[in-house]
Structure 1
Amino acid sequence: MSYLSPKLVTDIFLNPGDLYFGGPNVRVRTLLGSCVSIVLWHPKLHIGGMCHYLLVTKGDKNASGQPQGKYGEDAFQFLLNSVKSHLAPISEYEAKVFGGSNMFSKNERTLIDPMNESNSKLVGIRNIEFAKDILQKHSIKLVSENTAGVTHRKVFFTIWDGEVWLESHQDS
């Protein structure tokens, strides 16, 4: 059964470090480079969310002591807390992962030595690995991904049907 798009749609743009989780009349969108977005969606309840994190490693809390969405650990914890508040098991959600590009210029990419351990795990790759590892750890099915490469991506997630559309452009 196809879920019809709502008559009134709320459009939410996520900047780096932003998070959203909610109901079916929402379209969430963002722009990614080396950052990664994890999208969670519940196919029966038509609820879901997206995070946009910059780095894997958890940094210091902000002045109020709250987690910061710019870190993958904090962003995923926000999604987990949102799922728990909607009383549906996390195992019923589907996940999609986007981003993690190498955003160095073409000339800079050729200077990177892949045998050098400090260069072999670029930010984008570490972000992708974190997303896949945390989803597997929580037994969340990864149904789609568009990751790595050297492009930036515009991501559009419609919560009413769980669809994600991408626009990607290779930087020159």
Structure 2
Amino acid sequence: MASHFHKPDFFIEIFLQPGEFYFGDRDTRIRSLLGSCVAITLWHPRLKIGGMCHYMLTTHHGNKPKTELDGRYADDAMVLFMRELDNSGTWPRDYEVKMFGGGNMFPAHGKIGPISVPENNIHYGRGILIRHGFRIKAGHLGSSGHRNIIFDIWSGNVWVQHVAKS
């Protein structure tokens, strides 16, 4: 039986830096490199659309007035995702959701407070997804070191290379 998830002859490849967000169609591959940051991927299996965010922190804590969305923060990244769902007429339940990252980049230093930045990023990301009606299908979170992530929107596959740090 032939797979309906074939690699397109031509595809756009996007590399997300920390704080960036991208939502595209079946002709797109999204890559990123994660340390303590977290990436969330959303994929719509029927429409072959989806996206990825690469957030660094959970929420915007600043004295300056917030005038635009900032993908460095999980709460803003979720607003960006929800706008894409609104634009495409889709619902959170329609998507396969995966989470990656939250690695401890300095395991030898120990924990400074009750919860580390990577742990906070993971916990907050899971919570915000659930509050918006998403169900997390898979992920690779925590531990130490960094991860290379490749998300093929044509298939929904996410490839992970984890390099642990001691």
TM-score by length of 2: 0.92
Do residues 44 (structure 1) and 46 (structure 2) align? yes
Q: Any unmatched runs of 5+ in structure 2?
A: none
**Once superposed, what is the RMSD of the aligned Cα atoms?**
1.8
What SS does the corresponding residue of 1:48 show, helix, strand or coil?
strand
Q: Does 1:145 align with 2:139?
A: yes
Structure 1 segment 22-41 matched on structure 2, within 5 A:
22-41=24-43
Distance 2:134 2:57 in 1: 21
Tell me which moved more, 150-159 or 55-64: 55-64
1:71: which partner in 2? 73
Q: Deviations over 1:18-61 (max 9, x none)?
A: 00001010000000010000101101100000000000022459
User: Cα offset for 1:64?
Assistant: 8.6
The two structures have a TM-score, normalised by structure 1, of 0.89
Tell me: CA distance 1:133–1:63, structure 2 relative to 1, closer, same or farther (3 Å). Answer: closer
Query: Is this contact kept in 2: 1:17–1:70, CA < 8 A?
Result: yes
Q: 1:48 to 1:30 in 2, by over 3 A?
A: same
Q: Which residue of 2 aligns with 1:133?
A: 127
Query: How far apart in 1 are the matches of 2:143 and 2:27?
Result: 32
- Identify the match of residue 60 of structure 2 among 43, 58, 66: 58
Over 3 Å off, 4+ runs: 59-64
- Which one of the candidate residues 81, 88, 100 is aligned to 1:86? 88
- Cα deviation for residue 171 of structure 1 reads 2.4
Residue type matched to 1:163 in 2? N
Does the 8 Å CA contact 2:100/2:140 hold for their aligned counterparts? yes
Overall identity of the aligned pairs, in %: 37
1:19 aligns with 2:13: no
Q: How many angstroms apart in 1 are the aligned matches of 2:13 and 2:39?
A: 17
